[in-house]
Amino acid sequence: MTSDNLHIHLDQDVFALDGFRPNASSQIKGYIQLYSESFPTWNIQIQLVGKEQIEKNTRVIIDDTFHLPMDWVAVANDKNVYRLPFMLTVPNNIPISCQVNRNGNGIYYIIQVYSKQTVIRQPIQFYKSFHHDTIPRRVFWGIAKQSINKWQYELEFPNAFDLTNANTGYLSIRLRSNSKNSAGCHCLVICQITQSVHTKGFKNQQNVLMTTSELLRQPNATWTEPYHIEFELGHPMLLPTVHNQGLSVLHSMQITCLFTKHGESDCVLNFDFPLDISGFICPSPSSTPTVLSASFTTNASNTTVDDKPSSVSSISSSNSITTSSDIQPCQMQKQEQQTETTKPNFTLKSIFAAIPFFKF
């Protein structure tokens, strides 16, 4: 039997892993198709292999072998063609697929089918899905106590941006002053999404994926009618968030609120929140066959195998997911003291001097 006679078909080339159930599992479905002049009676083995590639070093993430029963089914109206359906179970907490640079650094998966003297391979990709409609939201609040106008703030955004169906994110902001002399106050809100790639614990690449700003001329009005800032996350360097020991991709949302009155600065609040970006983002591994070939052909001296499944199950993207009930006012006050700046040596007009679309 030659490889031309044996084919593997997956129901999907890209499979979603449930980010809300890291300790559960997902299923890969497909079938093996064989052209044979006689009814097949031999055994089939399927191997799912996942590897982390960092330069010339490769680490095996998962290496599971499945023995399929000989439940071949003849294809109707197609002589000498037989199919063997299969369903594989994959833990939801394996690292998702990604390629972080052109050198091939990333996490890749492949399915291999063994039959007699024949081996066929099929790339496969995994991504995390958090179901956009059910993603919990985070709420952060506090008071800028050192501000002249005693600004109270409330920031709200989801724990994760799932970009499977839309490349958009949002931030909701509420502001009000506890001072009676807040007339004429403005607030410039700047939001930035950053992405950093870490290999073996060292940050070696950082990108700003998105920057947007909004000038709130009546910030007090946002307390009863929250102001929503929507933004696109379509940067060509965008990667999904990856929580892994050797190679990881981390995201954060950086928010700056600059309060002024009649052009004079009152205070500046800076926030930096960890954020998960999930969904099908990176291209299919099938589009990078040279990388896959290098990833799955390595020297034994450079390869480390995780023998125990527990080493895989310890990796979970849910570690950064929190709910608003986990956030205590004392935590926000501590953060505020670290990030609040009172009376900086610049004015609102000087900041906007080089920004033509802001007019006073």
Q: What DSSP assignment string belongs to 230-268?
A: EEE---TT----B--SSEEEEEEEEEEEEEEETTEEEEE
d(CA 130, CA 136): 10
Tokens encoding 137? 């939201």
d(CA 360, CA 344): 21
pLDDT of residue 313: 26
pLDDT of residue 354: 37
Q: Is the pTM of this model over 0.95?
A: no
- Given a cut of 80, whether residue 132 has pLDDT beyond it is no
pLDDT of residue 194: 94
Domains 3-128 and 135-276 share a fold: yes
- Helix (H, G, I), strand (E, B), or coil: what is residue 70? coil
Q: Tally Cβ neighbours within 10 Å of residue 63.
A: 13
Class of the domain covering 135-276: mainly beta
> What is the average pLDDT across 185-197?
93
Q: 3-128: which CATH topology?
A: Immunoglobulin-like (2.60.40)
Amino acid at 78: D
CB 169 within 8 A of CB 192: no
Residue whose structure tokens are 């996942």: 50
pLDDT of residue 77: 82
- Given a cut of 70, whether residue 104 has pLDDT beyond it is yes
d(CA 216, CA 139): 20
DSSP lists the bridge partners of residue 305 as 60
d(CA 53, CA 302): 10
> Where are the chain's structural domains?
3-128, 135-276
pLDDT in tens, 18-66: 877 878 888 899 999 988 888 888 788 999 999 998 888 888 999 999 9
Rounded to 5 degrees, φ, ψ at 124 are -145, 150
